[in-house]
Amino acid sequence: MAQGLKVRGLTKEYPTPAEPLAVLRGVDLEMDGDGGTAVVGPSGSGKSTLLNILGTLDVPTAGSVELDGRNLFTLNATELAQFRSAHIGFVFQEHHLLPQCTALENVLVARLAVGKVREEDERRGAELLAAVGLANRSTHVPAELSGGERQRVAIARALMNRPRLVLCDEPTGNLDAHAAQAVGEVLRQMAAAQRAMLIVVTHSTLLSGMFPRRLRMEEGRLVEDAKA
């Protein structure tokens, strides 16, 4: 079975009263555990649209997305939801933690999407929190955590099910420079330790500079960034 992520001819259009609005115009991408890829570009260039399609939260107008040999958009809705929960992790600018749940419980929420929480899952959740530097904060609810700590909980949650692909949309956008660098380092190191493919959409030159590959959205396509 082919390994890695293979994107071919990805297009996305939205209907308008005049003519369709083309946001993606034939995106091609291949990766397989290369240490992480940053995607940069101005607001409105299609970065988040691309990420949503790669994460199967949106469907393309045309083109294909394969992950480890599975053509994702040939799966039915139930199969796609199951595949997403088991193989794709998300980290967003807004951490989306449940306010009434502790840090550990928020990490374990990811497990509920694929089955019951077992004792070994609780151990893994605690290990992930320790790995992101929050071993002594596992019983704290989000309101008792800093912005950087909440985002690190979100990283642990994204990695809970050992996903092959981790997608991050402006994960440090709400953080100061010090917290952003710390979160970026944790994200990069944790994804590498889990052997997960990592794609980070960001406006931050600090964050994008942490990854060995940097791509730019340009006229609806991905190109190698000249400033990398």
Question: Tens of pLDDT along 186-205?
Answer: 888 888 888 899 999 998 88
The pLDDT score that the predictor gives to residue 2 is 63
The mean-pLDDT minimum among 10-14, 102-106, 202-206 falls in: 202-206
**pTM recorded for the entire structure:** 0.91
The pLDDT score that the predictor gives to residue 228 is 47
Distance of alpha carbon 168 from alpha carbon 226, whole angstroms = 22
Q: Residues 138-162: what's their mean pLDDT?
A: 94
Q: What does the block give as tokens for 200?
A: 């980070």
Q: Is 121 helix (H, G, I), strand (E, B) or coil?
A: helix
Q: Which residue has the higher pLDDT, 159 or 115?
A: 159
Q: Are 39 and 224 a contacting pair, CB within 8 Å?
A: no
Q: Which residue has the higher pLDDT, 198 or 43?
A: 198
The pLDDT score that the predictor gives to residue 34 is 66
Which CATH class name applies to 5-98+163-224? alpha beta
The pLDDT score that the predictor gives to residue 202 is 92
Q: Residues 21-32: what's their mean pLDDT?
A: 93
> Given CA atoms 192, 193, 196, 198 in this order, what sign does their dihedral have?
negative
Three-class secondary structure assignment of 164-210: CEEEEECCCCCCCHHHHHHHHHHHHHHHHHHCCEEEEECCCHHHHCC
> Per residue in 67-98, pLDDT tens?
999 999 999 999 999 999 999 999 988 888 99
| 66-75 long-range Cβ contacts below 8 angstroms, 24+ apart | 66/2, 66/5, 66/6, 66/7, 66/8, 67/4, 67/5, 67/164, 67/165, 68/1, 68/2, 68/3, 68/4, 68/164, 69/1, 69/2, 69/3
The pLDDT score that the predictor gives to residue 85 is 92
Q: Are 192 and 185 a contacting pair, CB within 8 Å?
A: no
Q: Are 32 and 197 a contacting pair, CB within 8 Å?
A: yes
Band (pLDDT 50/70/90 cuts) for residue 108 is: very high
Q: What does the block give as tokens for 156?
A: 């642990």
Helix/strand/coil percent split, the chain, to 5: 40, 25, 35
Residue extents of the structural domains in the chain: 5-98+163-224
Q: Residues 22-49: what's their mean pLDDT?
A: 89
Q: Are 191 and 15 a contacting pair, CB within 8 Å?
A: no
Mean pLDDT for the chain overall:
91
Tell the burial category of 30 from Cβ atoms under 10 Å away from its Cβ (0-12, 13-18, 19+): exposed
